[in-house]
Amino acid sequence: MRDYLQFYINGEWVDPAQPNPHDVINPATEEVCARISLGSETDVDRAVAAAKKAFESYGRSSRQERIELLESCVATYKKYHNDIADAVREEMGAPQSLAAGGQTHAGRGHLKEALRVLRDFAFEEDLGEHRVFKEPIGVCGLITPWNWPLNQIGCKVAPALAVGCTMILKPSEEAPLSAYLFAQVMHEAGVPAGVFNLVNGDGPVVGTALSKHPDVDMMSFTGSTRAGSLVAQNAAPSVKRVTQELGGKSPNIILDDADLEAAVTQGVLHMYNNSGQSCNAPSRMLVPAARLAEAEAIAARVTESVVVGDPSAEGTTMGPVVSRLQYDRIQELIQKGIDEGARLVVGGPGHPEGLERGYFVRPTVFSGVNNDMSIAREEIFGPVLVMIPYEDEEDAIRIANDTPYGLAGYVQSGDIERARRVAARIRAGNVHINGASGGFNVPFGGFKQSGNGREWGHHGFTDFLEIKAVEGFGS
């Protein structure tokens, strides 16, 4: 069992101000796999003080110094790849192929992309005789979730390091093991003392203390819309910048000229990736009403091919969901779908056969869903797909945009011009045509209650920078 009881503050592993151990549960076994400490306001104060002091020098570091630092981070992360992958599998139940693949690669991918952008990023711009400078915003509080831990840590830490900010990371207490290893990477890579700090804890204590702290200049949060709203409220009195990547209920419009077999198959498998625990999952599949029965048959067949089981076993394609709390919420919403009259195509309540231990959920498809049902409105955050029939293209666009969220959208069509036209009318931060996915250079973020600001690539630098205009600079 792992004991990760210390915090990383000012370049050292230190004991918490007061003991407050917390058990980390392996969701595949329901057994304790590690212990961490939950921090306090005192721990946050120590970390913020360290970051504030470090900013005095790191905020003035040269581009070349930061390039060399990121090069070291990339190389060191590669050495820890297998250890991080094992931690992800253990803390959140990701199958080994996903843990060692997309989950772990994401952290290094964002470091490499920030390094690429930094080499040529324009920190200065001349407007006639005046000069505009882009300067690091200062001390940043970073709160990250459990579902894609390295992706969210990487897409916040990497640009912050690149532009000259200092930071305090609070990872999710549900999946903190990979973050602990990420801190070891930062230490071994030679990140200066106080530039990167890690304090474990829960949202009500550590998250609130960071959000309210007068010496924190910016909060970057990824998580639920409810929690993001609280971060913003806590940050408001100090007028700090707040950026948020929040929930989603993303539409997947399959137009009547799409290859139905390929489009439904792709959409179903995407929905089950990471056990459905992705904020941009294509959870609402919009299908032409005349072809709904055909689409249901394809979805059922694809769902039955999914191998749910032990994340460490070869051939497993879907592991458990992260926690008992998450499992119970998914079960409640599956039952609500049945109670509200949706047609259960495959799956349903309870554990998959033979998997009574662990937080395993049956991959589930509902059909005949209307957009007013709870399972069409609420973010389930599990392997539950809803199929909604539509009458024509205008009806599909109306249904797609009838949501408080706007993180992602998907359009499938045999006519690229038609797909582009429909994509232009989807109110979401990322729209994918015919299964295309963006790289680490493509901005990620949402409209409406899915958040504000953008992460990833060149656009990800922006929120970590302040703009200073010096008039008469060239006179």
Region of 347 on the Ramachandran plot (φ > 0 left; ψ -120 to 50 alpha; else beta)? left
| Helix, strand, or coil (residue 218) | strand
**What is the Cα gyration radius of the chain?**
23
- 210 contacts 232 by C-beta, under 8 angstroms: no
Tally helices (H) and strands (E) across the chain.
16, 21
Residue from 73, 140, 165, 279 carrying the catalytic annotation? 279
User: b/e map of 304-328 (b: 16 or more CB within 10 Å)?
Assistant: eebebbbbeeeebbbbbbbbeebbe
137 SS3 class? coil
Give the bridge partners for 196, in sequence order. 167
Closest of 220, 221, 160 to residue 195, by C-alpha = 160
CB 408 within 8 A of CB 280: yes
CB 185 within 8 A of CB 334: no
DSSP-based three-state secondary structure for 411: strand
Phi then psi for residue 108, to 5 deg, are -70, -35
For 286, list phi and psi in degrees, rounded to 5: -95, 120
- Four-CA torsion 370, 375, 376, 382, nearest 10 degrees: -140
Question: Which residue, chain included where needed, has tokens 């210390």?
Answer: 6
Give the sign of the dihedral formed by CA 114, CA 119, CA 121, CA 123. Answer: positive
Helices (H), 251-290: 260-272
Encoded tokens for 56: 């005095």
How many angstroms separate the CA atoms of 205 and 193, rounded? 24
Q: Is 165 a catalytic residue?
A: no
Tell me which of 90, 113, 245, 296 is the catalytic residue: 245
Q: How far apart are CA 95 and CA 308, in angstroms?
A: 9
The span from the first CA to the last CA of the chain, in angstroms, equals: 65
Active site residues: 245, 279
